[in-house]
Amino acid sequence: MLAVETSTEACSAALYIDGEIEERYELAPREHTKLILPMIDSLMAEAELKPQQLDGLAFSRGPGSFTGVRISTGIIQGIALGAELPVVPVSTLAAMAHHYLKHSSSDCAFTAMDARMGEIFWGVYLKNQQGYAELVGEEAVTLAENIVFPQQQGVGIGSGWDVYPEQLSSCLAELLQGIEAEHLPRASAIVDLGVMGFKNDQAVVVEKAMPVYLRDKVAKKESER
């Protein structure tokens, strides 16, 4: 399975073959359109694979940067159409949480991404028995002070913690075990969750592989501010 992730300032692609993951990752704001295709070509060439030999594709379907989410969606839709491959859309928040929980001793991630306009993209994830990040409740776009969370200790991850540390810390109080605001989504987590989704029959045809923004409005009217 091949996966891409371009929803934040980080850009990455990953290839999963028989339980092993190879990844290309670079922190390069506004360079995604230049980097992502060479990353994919490099991974495929190294593995001596053509798209038609893949079982499926996965992509970061959002939330995240509107432009970034459109890039990952468009790239995967193009490959899927050309090679007639099924696609697994993966939540960006889930990928962030999965990568963190997979490489830490914590069992809970309070995941927050800066959504601009005074809001955050928010999701709480627990590590399930299989070691995958599992959503508790729903993902949401919300004011930092209006977050919904379970009575579960965990670590705050994502850019939302850099922008609204006081509001989020105040809400969670003693439940908060630490903060890692620099944690970004990676294609290695997208492909990991994508393989699981593929096995659980969550793959869709390319026409249904659509982005999820959580918010329809790009900007608020003056009267709404």
Q: Is residue 198 assigned to a domain?
A: yes
pTM score, whole prediction: 0.93
The Cβ of residue 39 has, within 10 Å, a number of other Cβ atoms equal to: 22
Q: Which residues lie closer than 8 Å to 180 by C-beta, 6 or more apart? A: 100, 155, 156, 157, 161
Name the H helices within the chain: 32-47, 66-83, 92-102, 160-163, 165-172, 187-199
Q: Looking at residue 215, what is its pLDDT?
A: 80
In angstroms, rounded to a whole number, what is the distance separating the alpha carbons of residues 125 and 94? Answer: 7
3-state DSSP call for residue 143?
Answer: strand
**Does 72 share its domain with 127?**
no
Q: Tens place of pLDDT for every residue, the chain, 225 residues? A: 999 999 999 999 999 999 999 999 999 999 999 999 999 999 999 999 999 999 999 999 999 999 999 999 999 999 999 999 999 999 999 999 999 999 999 999 999 999 999 999 999 999 999 999 999 999 999 999 999 999 999 999 999 999 999 999 999 999 999 999 999 999 999 999 999 999 999 999 999 999 999 986 444 433 443
Q: Is residue 223 assigned to a domain?
A: no
**Does 85 share its domain with 193?**
yes
**Does 80 share its domain with 116?**
no
Q: Is residue 98 assigned to a domain?
A: yes
Q: Is residue 219 assigned to a domain?
A: no
In angstroms, rounded to a whole number, what is the distance separating the alpha carbons of residues 74 and 79? Answer: 9
* Domain harbouring 191, CATH code: 3.30.420.40
**Does 110 share its domain with 57?**
no
Domain containing residue 125: 93-180
Q: Is residue 157 assigned to a domain?
A: yes
Chain centroid to CA 76: 15
**Does 139 share its domain with 171?**
yes
Counting the structural domains of the chain, the total is 2
**Does 24 share its domain with 104?**
no
Long-range contacts for 81-84 (Cβ within 8 Å, ≥24 apart)?
Answer: 81/206, 82/51, 83/50, 83/51, 83/52, 83/54, 84/52
Q: Looking at residue 216, what is its pLDDT?
A: 63
**Does 66 share its domain with 144?**
no
**Does 83 share its domain with 106?**
no
3-state DSSP call for residue 21?
Answer: strand
In angstroms, rounded to a whole number, what is the distance separating the alpha carbons of residues 92 and 89? Answer: 9
**Does 66 share its domain with 134?**
no
Q: Is residue 64 assigned to a domain?
A: yes
**Does 87 share its domain with 195?**
yes
Sign of CA pseudo-dihedral 37, 114, 108, 94:
negative
Which candidate, 84, 51, 87, places its Cα nearest to that of 195? 87
**Does 7 share its domain with 87?**
yes
Q: Is residue 225 assigned to a domain?
A: no
Q: Is residue 217 assigned to a domain?
A: no
**Does 104 share its domain with 121?**
yes
